[in-house]
Amino acid sequence: MRSQIEGSRAVAETVARCRPEVVCAYPISPQTHIVEALSVLVASGELAPCEFVNVESEFGAMSVAIGASAAGARAYTATASQGLLYMAEALYNASGLGLPIVMTVANRAIGAPINIWNDHSDSMSQRDSGWIQLYAETNQEAADLHVQAFRIAEELSLPVMVCMDGFVLTHAVEGIDVPSQEQVDAFLPPFGPQQVLDPDDPMTIGAMVGPDAFTEVRYLAHAKHLRALEVIPRVADEFATTFWRSSGGLVRPYGCLGADTVVVALGSVLGTVKDTVDELRAEGVSIGVLGLTTFRPFPYDAVRAALRGARRVVVLERALAAGMGGIVTADVCGSVPDKPITTVIAGLGGRPVTKKSLRGLLTDAVADRLEPLTFLDLKHDVVERELS
Amino acid sequence: MFEVRIHGRGGQGVVTTAELLSVAAFNEGRQAQAFPTFGSERTGAPVVGFCRIADQPIRSHEPIAAPDAVIIQDATLIHQPDVLAGLRADGYLLVNTSRSLAELGLDAVDRPDRVLTVPATELALTHLGRPLPGAVLLGAFAALTAQVRVESVIAAVRERFSGSVATGNVAAVRDAYDLARRSLQEAAHAITD
Amino acid sequence: MPVQRIKFYQTGSFAVGNRLLDPDQRSVQADTERTNSLTMGHRACQGCGEALGARYVLDAVMRATGNHAVTVNATGCLEVFSTPFPESSWRVPWLHSLFGNAPAVATGVAAALKAKGRTDVRVVGQGGDGGTVDIGLGCLSGMFERNDDVLYVCYDNGGYMNTGVQRSGATPHGAVTTTTPAGNSFRQGKSLPLIAMAHRIPYVATATVADLRDLEYKATRAMEFHGARYLHVLVPCPLGWRTASSETIQIARLATETGSFPVFEAVDGEVTDVTRIRRLRPVEDYLRPQGRFAHLFGDTPRGDVISSIQAEADRNIRTFGLVETTEVS
Amino acid sequence: MPEANSHHPYAITLDVGSSLANKTGSWRTERPVYLDRLPPCNDACPAGENVQEWVARAEEGDYEAAWRQIMVDNPFPAIMGRVCYRPCETACNRATLDEPVGINSIERFLGDEAISRGWSVVVEAPPTGKNVLVVGAGPSGLSAAYHLALRGHQVTVRDDSPEAGGMMRYGIPSYRLTRDVVDAEIQRIVEMGVRLELGTSVTDLGDALVDFDAVFLAVGAHVGRRADIPAGDSARIVDAVSMLAGLAKGEQPLLGRRVAVYGGGNTAMDVARTARRLGASDAIVVYRRTRERMPAHDIEVREALDEGVRMRWLSTIVYAGADRVRIEKMRLDESGFPQPTGEFEELDADSVVLALGQQADLALVRDLPGVEIADGVVQVDGRMMTGHAGLFAGGDMVPGERTVTVAVGHGKQAARNIDAWLRSATYEHPERPELATYDRLNTWYYADAPATLRPQLDVARRITSFDEVTQGLTAENALFEARRCMSCGNCLECDNCFGVCPDNAIIKLGPGQGYEIDLDFCKGCGLCAAECPSGAITMIRERS
């Protein structure tokens, strides 16, 4: 049933309907509303049986989730920014152990300088952690992706990170159709762990692996991600059948077919990009949008197919690899190495990505006036003063 | 698309005001989006809330730079530089005050059909006993902009609050609505006269 | 003539077993059916105190829980020597995650079991002193403060032995490590048992591998409580302490008999029982056999350091009442 | 690449096997070996008892087994438990820890238990047809007879006394050794088929050596050593041996109220204490050296002092009169030998009893060819045989300490050798293992347990009767005392090795079976050896 609620609340209620058995909470903006809402649902008995653990750090949060998952419980936590980095060691561990934990990342910049606003620096820094990464364009999708995330995670026995833009989505109140319990139950079977700490069947989980087998373990991890490229769209299809709406999957092309210029982006900025592109198309500009829902595993084939007809590609991303440029760009290049690609770094540290700016940017792009690496709305006077 | 920007101070319920407005619109079957300025403002600091209302899905999440309406929950903010920024020439302005526009130094924007003051804090104190003008202002907003019906605002208030807080707010919303209607009618008469 | 109750046996109650004891008085380790939670083929050094301590504790826990226990292990010697792929020495369900998170992982396991209604399965977290008093302290403190239903066991060998004998927060005063080449200049180090007690958790105890029966008793007793429990076990490391592999137990015994390592238990943050020193010895007897203290007795003897170590031991003796005072009847 | 496995997730799809595949025994440069060391009690026992073994049986509460283990070596547990001077307890390692195990008291308990329960010994060996004559029915002779009988030989014991027991009957006062105990333990030997011919003097060995296949001489030392003390006509000077023997035969010696006993041995104590019991108000022992140098055992001295016996150390009697003796004070020179000081003193004494030692009556062997006599005793070889083939000798008449226990040991030793000699063989004593010294033990494992004291009669009753002074232990006390044994040098199945091995490389074989080292996994750390309470494990180097 559709209701006008905050994104965090929608995610919390959706997660609750996925019946997690252990939820770990450590406060960090902007994910706090999610675990606050879950704590209320657990305290009220609405979500039961479920253990809500107030941990002492994000490192502890992921660790508790690891223990819970290894003991056969459906485990969930949420974090952002510094918190994600603080749990980085445990992230690799969760994926290395093949534990199907689902975590919301309310994307936020990383300090210093400290900044609580949205960009993708946090989750991008963990792109190689072995977690599946899904990026929500809207709050509706954010909610829906969590249901799919548990399915994907448990089918593959891999952890899944659902990324939603901090504040922009988490704190936005919108009309959202929170999946009903019946729907979720029909879609998401109870967790049947593929490995579990069980006194009746003692198992060693997490043995030390030396040079003789580490490569093989990593190879297998990669293979599992490749398998995820099949599982993710299938789950999205099944979701659409059950819930009567489309969300998730690998990529979301929007007017790509026949477009000379395609803007690749992920997250909530896609809405503004689509608005802008619609205007440009109305003015006769041949331009489309490719939203990346799945960033890890990187859907090379899907991206290549979507960009087949494009003459130029603009990758708009909310994170920067200092000394290198675009993070997503590097992966898109892997899909279409022969196409001209420009990178636009936009919206760092919460700077709004406005339609006005985008319009100017895309106009330049279409006219091939864009630098290979452009910083949207960069205050040139400030940086030049510093650089001089 | 109708875009509203709400200015107030931390602790005055700016976020709630934006949310209530979006819920009121949602209750009328429209698309709505409410969101606050994102930050770590503490009690008393100037804060801004936003609300978009449309009949098509709202995709953009950028802050509202050129609002169709500005609601000022705390008149002491009126001379802050950004408060009226981007407000269209025919945009609406709703100010919570018991003073006149002239007294506030706002003679320049004195467009009686678009600009309205309402003593929302006093109304809130009367009906609620607490100085929370947010919902009250939405009663006046409904009268001023006709973007939402007052009944939708009341429904949103009832969804959000319960007990005496709900009752008090509803009463205050009605009062504010009636007050605003009267002011607007008077202004209309003045223009026709 | 007064009749003396037959309570002393040929080897008293200090040996592992005794053919004369009633079966129910025999230790877990005397039992041929013991779990051998950490079984043979592991790659611990010769005479490893930690291997010994871990088997003692877990076998006792397994008996106490009717073989319904799950173990979470921090990174460290114990983890490395027990599970070099493709071999595992564990005969209990065992999970290794990271160096500093074993208490939190154990919490997660406990939470999962609780959510699943598996009240019959108990959780043990374990790690070395580095993983416990240093990098894992945050997680451990959180586990204590939330009173999670976990027994956390620290096997204290006074340093980072896995990485080549570096100083930890539990390295004793005066000890040479590869990062304190002139001897650890810090004082007694963190007393995690006292820190644990400050959390007012239901049960805190210390023990050593020199007194197996006491260790088994404490592991068993710990399982009688629910909530957060902490067991701190002194496990000499022949490599790091530079002692002969055959001296492991002897050195642990000297640690207690000199007052250097107080053995006690505490319930709800208050000391309830203390293992009295049977044969009080000066700390020098404990220090001298250990290569890591050799510099104290070298060409320029460090009487000052020895005195301060003795003072620390005296303080333990005083604080915990380690020496029985003559009772006037 | 393995097929994507839906059972286990990838990270652990490479299934972890057991470390049992890793044979850490290859790390070893030394290996532990179980061994038996000689416990000091066994080492010290003149009768060659396997003390530790029978104590172990007693610890288990199997008193009969314990008693039978004593009986393997010594037919007189009840007597031993009363009169043995306990070299075992002196040697006991537990003495270093706290107090020695009360071996003697346990032995007495077992001996008494055997008498009261009527436990007997059955000869299982088939008759050999060999006849052996034992001359002397004292402890040595009876011990030899017992051991020979056990081996199937026909034994005849001849003694000129009316009753058997020798010094056990005619030397040791009954308050130390009750006669019913002596009777019972001798009767048990008789019941094994040993022929006792009492009141029969053997005056010539010539016939015997022809009639019997072997002869064991054990006539003892019953002749009191005299001292030439100037004495007045009315002085009453008595010889201790005769006096004690007379008493045993029912005579009432007339010693008077004040008795001076001259000598410092156990006999002197026996006499002084007997004198008190016979009504002497004052019994004073005069000895020329100090208490430390007294040959009497400390326990005897202590009990004598308890009973009011007085001691005059560093004194010699230089003259004995009718009611007093003159003594001269002595001093010890550098070599510890007493020297006269020329200082004199007088003591009231109605009689003087000379307890200056005994001599053997060697008339029987004086003229036998091959028999060598030196220092008043018969010389024997390692087989206890005299220079005369087939003639063996033991007890007080051969060199050695003159105690019942030594005598019993002689009897056993002689019997073994006589048995071998009768079979034209040589008895080979098994090699003695290394001694289990205190430093081999890990005493931390032994609980503190003070020794159990045997109850004693109160002094008032002691000096008015010949009732037995020292009482026995209860079964419970005996058990406690037995369990104080540290099992020096021998595995006591304490499971320490099994428990302390960090590599689980000790295999416990079950009760009575001990342990085995699993060399597949033993890394040779040596903890088992270091933590073995009894020192029954040693480390030996692996051959490269």
Q: State in words which class domain D224-358 has.
A: alpha beta
Q: Cβ–Cβ of D10/A97 closer than 8 Å?
A: no
Q: What angle do CA B184, B187, B190 make, to 5 degrees?
A: 155
Identify any residues that bridge with D338 across adjacent strands, giving them in sequence order: D332
* Per-residue pLDDT, D47: 96
DSSP conformation class of D27: G
A268 touches chain B (CB under 8 A): yes
Position with higher pLDDT, C183 vs C126: C126
Tell me: the pLDDT tens digits for B36-86? 986 666 778 889 999 999 999 999 999 999 999 999 999 989 888 789 999
Put simply, the chain A residues between 82 and 121 with a CB less than 8 A from any chain C CB are: 89-90, 93, 97
C98 touches chain A (CB under 8 A): yes
CA distance C141 to C191: 13
Residues of C in contact with A87 (CB under 8 A): none
Q: How far is D478 from chain C (nearest CA, A)?
A: 10
CA distance A318 to A349: 9
**Could you give the number of structural domains in chain C?**
1
Q: Cβ–Cβ of B22/A4 closer than 8 Å?
A: yes
Tell me which residue in A50, A51, A63 faces C104 most closely, judged by beta carbons: A63
Task: Sort B79 into a burial class: Cβ within 10 Å, 0-12 / 13-18 / 19+.
Answer: exposed
* Per-residue pLDDT, C211: 93
Q: Cβ–Cβ of A96/D11 closer than 8 Å?
A: yes
Residue of chain C whose Cα is closest to the Cα of D532:
C15
* Residue D2: pLDDT over 50: no
Q: What is the CATH code for D40-119+447-482? A: 1.10.1060.10
CA distance C70 to C58: 10
Residue of chain C whose Cα is closest to the Cα of D101:
C10
Q: How far is C136 from chain D (nearest CA, A)?
A: 24
Tell me: the pLDDT tens digits for D401-422? 999 999 999 999 999 999 999 9
Residues of D in contact with C46 (CB under 8 A): 27, 523-526
* Per-residue pLDDT, D14: 60
Kindly state the average pLDDT of the residues A111-134: 96
Q: What is the token pair recorded at D139?
A: 């402890």
* Residue C8: pLDDT over 50: no
A vs C, Cβ pairs < 8 A, gives 170
Kindly state the average pLDDT of the residues D487-495: 92
Kindly state the average pLDDT of the residues A288-308: 98
* Per-residue pLDDT, D133: 97
A49 touches chain C (CB under 8 A): yes
Kindly state the average pLDDT of the residues A56-79: 97
Tell me which residue in A30, A117, A354 faces B62 most closely, judged by beta carbons: A354
Please name which of D127, D295, D146 lies closest in space to residue D218, comparing C-alpha atoms.
Answer: D146
Kindly state the average pLDDT of the residues B82-105: 89
* Residue C307: pLDDT over 90: yes
* Per-residue pLDDT, D5: 37
A vs B, Cβ pairs < 8 A, gives 73
C289 touches chain D (CB under 8 A): no
CA distance B18 to D30: 81
DSSP conformation class of A54: E
Percent of the residues in chain A that have a pLDDT greater than 90, as a whole number:
95
C39 touches chain A (CB under 8 A): no
* Residue D488: pLDDT over 60: yes
C14 found inside a domain? no
Percent of the residues in chain A that have a pLDDT greater than 70, as a whole number:
100
Q: How far is C149 from chain D (nearest CA, A)?
A: 28
CATH number, domain of C38, equals: 3.40.50.970
C168 found inside a domain? yes
Position with higher pLDDT, A250 vs D251: A250
Question: In this structure, are strands D258-262 and D351-354 parallel, antiparallel, or unpaired?
Answer: parallel
What values do phi and psi take at C52, rounded to 5? -65, -50
* Per-residue pLDDT, B13: 87
Residues of B in contact with A269 (CB under 8 A): 61
C vs D, Cβ pairs < 8 A, gives 187
Asked if residue B133 lies in contact with residue B175, where contact means CB atoms within 8 angstroms, the answer is no
* Residue B4: pLDDT over 60: yes
Please check whether the two domains, A2-243 and A252-387, share a CATH topology: yes
Position with higher pLDDT, D479 vs D124: D124
* Residue D3: pLDDT over 70: no
Tell me: the pLDDT tens digits for C140-167? 999 999 999 999 999 999 999 999 999 9
Q: State in words which class domain A252-387 has.
A: alpha beta
Q: What is the token pair recorded at A339?
A: 């196409």
* Per-residue pLDDT, B39: 67
Q: Distance of CA B155 to CAs A175, B96, B175, D302, Å?
A: 16, 22, 15, 109
Question: In this structure, are strands A2-6 and A173-177 parallel, antiparallel, or unpaired?
Answer: antiparallel
Local confidence band at C65 (pLDDT 50, 70, 90 cut-offs): very high
CA distance B65 to B4: 10
Tell me: the pLDDT tens digits for D79-98? 999 999 999 999 999 999 99
* Residue D301: pLDDT over 60: yes
C52 found inside a domain? yes
Tell me which residue in A3, A169, A355 faces B60 most closely, judged by beta carbons: A355
CATH 3.90.870.10 fits D23-37+491-541, yes or no: no
A21 touches chain C (CB under 8 A): yes
Kindly state the average pLDDT of the residues D512-531: 96
Local confidence band at A303 (pLDDT 50, 70, 90 cut-offs): very high
Put simply, the chain C residues between 78 and 97 with a CB less than 8 A from any chain D CB are: 82-83, 85-89
| Span of A7-16, B76-85, B91-100, C266-275 with lowest mean pLDDT | B76-85
Q: Cβ–Cβ of D19/C6 closer than 8 Å?
A: no
Three-state DSSP at D316 gives strand
Tell me which residue in A21, A60, A201 faces C104 most closely, judged by beta carbons: A60
Position with higher pLDDT, B113 vs C253: C253
Q: What is the CATH code for B2-192? A: 3.40.920.10
CATH 3.40.50.2300 fits A2-243, yes or no: no
Comma-separated ranges of CATH 1.10.1060.10 domains in chain D: 40-119+447-482
Tell me: the pLDDT tens digits for D235-283? 889 999 999 999 998 888 888 899 999 999 999 999 999 999 998 999 9
Tell me: the pLDDT tens digits for D139-189? 999 999 999 999 999 999 999 999 999 999 999 999 999 999 999 999 999
Question: In this structure, are strands B92-96 and B69-72 parallel, antiparallel, or unpaired?
Answer: parallel
Three-state DSSP at C151 gives strand
The pLDDT mean for chain A works out to: 96
The pLDDT mean for chain C works out to: 92
Tell me which residue in A175, A271, A350 faces B26 most closely, judged by beta carbons: A175
Residue of chain D whose Cα is closest to the Cα of C15:
D445
Kindly state the average pLDDT of the residues A283-301: 98
Asked if residue D340 lies in contact with residue D328, where contact means CB atoms within 8 angstroms, the answer is yes
| Architecture of domain D131-172+182-222+360-422 in this structure | 3-Layer(bba) Sandwich (3.50)
Alpha helix segments (H runs only) across D235-297: 240-248, 266-277
Give Cα D337 distance to the centre of its chain. 30
C242 found inside a domain? yes
Dihedral of the alpha carbons of A35, A38, A39, A44, in degrees to the nearest 10: 170
Asked if residue B130 lies in contact with residue B124, where contact means CB atoms within 8 angstroms, the answer is yes
* Per-residue pLDDT, B146: 94
Residues of B in contact with A119 (CB under 8 A): none
Q: How far is D507 from chain A (nearest CA, A)?
A: 24
CA distance B125 to B168: 9
Asked if residue C93 lies in contact with residue A198, where contact means CB atoms within 8 angstroms, the answer is yes
B vs D contact (3+ beta-carbon pairs below 8 A): no
Q: Cβ–Cβ of A63/C93 closer than 8 Å?
A: no
Domain range for C79 is 29-320
Give Cα C139 distance to the centre of its chain. 19
Residues of C in contact with A213 (CB under 8 A): 85-86
